[in-house]
Amino acid sequence: MTAAQPAPTTNQNLDVAVETVSQVRRRLRFTVPQAQVAVAFVQTTAKFAAKVRVAGFRPGKAPAAMIERMHGVEIRRNALDDLLKAWVFKAIQATGLNPVGRPEVESMGELARDKPLAVQVLCEVLPTLELQGFEGAALTVDPIVADDEDVAEALEAKARERTEQIAVDTGLQNGDEAVATWSITDEGADAPRETADKRRFVVGAEHVPFEVNALALNATVGEEIVEDRAAEGTLTARKVTLTVHEAHRTEIPKVDDELAKDLGHADLAALQAAVKAEVEADVAKRNLEARRNAAVDNLLAKNEVELPSSFVDELVDQQLAQSFGHLDEKTLRSLGGFFQQMRKDMRKNTEGALRRGLALEALADKWEILPDDAAIDEKLAELIAQNPSRAERLKREYGNDQGRDELRRRVRSDRAMDDLVKLATYTEGTAKTLRAAKAPTPQAFADDGEHDHDHEGHDHDHAEHVHDENCNHG
């Protein structure tokens, strides 16, 4: 997509007046010549004559006047559809506009075979941005710093990556995973009130009967345990029989030289140094991202970026189709408010990402950033290094012309971002640790509505909807 629109031109066969309604809306006014209106009536009438039967006439031989009297409403409707599909497309071509979404026919003159047809169409386009007022901005960002506890957490994470399931034969503990058979029989009863045959469970879990958890603690695999005990919170006696067939315990290795060697380092000191370097790199990346976000937020605060509402809706619908397209209508209805809230959240995120992307593309155009093929290859190599398991898929995805064009846009955006960051000065606010920066906050999950966009004035209740090859859904 591009933020710039070509300058309007005039088609030799069609004069189109273009009115700029807003950053993203263009109103087109044009007139279909009377001769073309008459042709549409003749062609549509001929199509009806070929497929309808009229008593006394062979198929296709009934007089046109008779066909029009019999099917006048349908003929007018079909003729109008054909005219709009053809001439709205021609009008858009004549202006050089690149609509995003379906053009909307706002009004028309009288449709008659002996008169020209005046048409007024509204199109949405991507905005043409003239960005200003962002150079030399003084911005404040909260720096992220790493301390010893952050490094220790990172080391623990390395250890958890080597977690193993160890078989346990005796002395079961809460948290161990066991497979057991049990029965619970009330006093005086002829049959058990509850049985389980080789059921897998976690010792201490709430969904397991109290009596079973009590016997499982310190149990030995293969040994049958039989015990009379009162039910929890009562004096009722119960006979409980339990046999543990197998048990496993999650074991996280210690952070020591052995773990370091397992991870490919000489000793614990070398592992600690490597992890500290990773933590510092993460901190540097997050601090850079904070400056980038501050710079873009300032850019958008100084420059309005209106969005084509229908285009945003289409992008959101595509995301929802990817997420929920496999569900049937009944299941979708059952999601109810959850589905609507998700759509609202997706729209908000899409609007933010689109504004950001359009602004950076406009800067790349302004600064004439033109990445060469070597930069595209470098970007692809970077993506593969970040996702080595997807290397072949990434090569296929970005190996063709369309994929390389997408990478070129990304490189342009990245370079525009870097140049934008350099134009501002930064003051450090309140520092926070890396672990605090990683921790989710309640605000991350709350919908405060502060960034909702109502798109006032975007009326979508129009008479006709034209959808043809000139609609850009990229």
Report the sign of the C-alpha dihedral through residues 210, 215, 220, 223, in that order: negative
List all residues 6 or more positions away from 57 whose beta carbon is below 8 Å from its beta carbon.
Answer: none
**pLDDT for the residue 221:** 96
Q: What is the reported pLDDT for 468?
A: 41
Q: What is the pLDDT of residues 313-332, one digit of tens each?
A: 999 989 888 888 888 878 87
Q: Where are the alpha helices (DSSP H) in 183-226?
A: 210-216
Single out the residue of 32, 4, 83, 24 nearest to residue 309, CA to CA.
24
> β-strand 237-251 against 164-167: which pairing, if any?
antiparallel
What is residue 56's predicted lDDT score, i.e. its pLDDT? 59
In whole angstroms, what is the distance from residue 197 CA to residue 181 CA? Answer: 4
Q: What pLDDT is stored for residue 324 in this prediction?
A: 84
Q: What is the pLDDT of residue 46?
A: 80
Cα–Cα distances in Å, from 280 out to 142, 263, 404, 432, 438?
16, 19, 32, 14, 14
Residue 9 confidence (pLDDT): 37
pLDDT (tens digit per residue) in 434-445? 999 998 765 544
Mean pLDDT by 10 residues, the chain (474 residues): 38 80 95 93 79 63 65 81 93 93 92 93 94 94 96 95 93 95 91 94 92 93 89 71 96 94 95 97 96 96 94 91 83 82 92 96 96 95 94 94 95 96 96 91 49 37 37 39
The whole-number pLDDT of residue 6 equals 35
pTM summary value: 0.70
Q: How far is CA 360 from CA 130, 295, 364, 401, 426, in A?
A: 12, 11, 6, 22, 20
Which residues, 6 or more positions from 457, have their beta carbon under 8 angstroms from its beta carbon? 22
Which tokens hold the place of 382? 């970077």
Which phi and psi angles does 369 have, rounded to 5°? -80, 115
Q: What is the pLDDT of residue 462?
A: 34
Q: Of 190, 176, 144, nearest to 247 (Cα)?
A: 176
CA atoms within a 13 Å half-sphere pointing along the CA-CB vector of 190 = 0
The partner residues of 108 in beta bridges, in order of sequence, read 119
Is 67 in contact with 79 (CB distance < 8 Å)? Answer: no
- What are the structural domains, with CATH classification, of the chain? 17-124 (3.30.70.1050), 138-152+276-439 (1.10.3120.10), 164-251 (3.10.50.40)
Tokens describing residue 43: 């062609």
CA torsion sign, 111 to 117 to 120 to 126?
positive
Give CA–CA dist 131/304, Å, rounded. 9
Q: Say if CB 164 and CB 153 are below 8 A apart.
A: no
- pLDDT tens readout for residues 164-202: 999 999 999 999 999 999 999 988 888 998 999 999 999
The dihedral over CA atoms of 37, 42, 47, 49, expressed in degrees to the nearest 10, equals: 140
